[in-house]
Amino acid sequence: MHGESQMNNLLANTTILVIDDDADMCELLRTILCHEGANVLTANTVEDALDLCRRTPPHLVVSDMRLGLSDGFAVIEAIREYNREYRGFTPAIALTGFVTSGDEQRALAAGFDAYVHKPFHASELISLITSLLRRSPDLAA
């Protein structure tokens, strides 16, 4: 794949937090992102995600919008609060299989940087992630 080594170099220096209550989706995302060189953390709940953020601050978050009894809006609210208190800024991607009118605008207004529908193409997700990371001050060289 042309440009793969450039992506591998960028993701090799990153920690990405995947938040999804579906274990199969967590494993799929872990496989895709690890293949590109990222260190991948996974969480199934908002509480677990925040615990991981405190212990190992991620460079980027990919979060499902439907998380059992909670949702991606609770995730992004908690992460943005954590960012204000401790860590600057963490880019975040909303991931959803349930698309309804206005969801994308609502997710972006809530603080997500991008919105991706399931099913997604791995190459498009990687491209989006690398684009967001290039703009991240944490990884600016």
Contact 25, 69 (CB under 8 A): no
Task: Write down the pLDDT at residue 138.
Answer: 58
Task: Write down the pLDDT at residue 67.
Answer: 75
What is the pTM for the complete model shown? 0.86
Task: Write down the pLDDT at residue 5.
Answer: 44
Structure tokens that stand for 25 in this block: 């989706």
Which residue segments constitute the domains of the chain, with CATH numbers given? 4-127 (3.40.50.2300)
Distance separating alpha carbons of residues 60 and 18, to the nearest angstrom: 9
Task: Write down the pLDDT at residue 113.
Answer: 94
Distance separating alpha carbons of residues 114 and 129, to the nearest angstrom: 9
Residues 72-102 as b/e (b if ≥16 CB within 10 A, e otherwise) read: bbbbbebbbebbeeeeeebbbbbbbeeeeee
Distance separating alpha carbons of residues 68 and 44, to the nearest angstrom: 9
DSSP 68: T
Which regions in the chain score pLDDT beneath 50? 1-8, 141
The 10s digit of each residue's pLDDT in 69-97 is 667 788 888 888 887 777 678 999 999 88
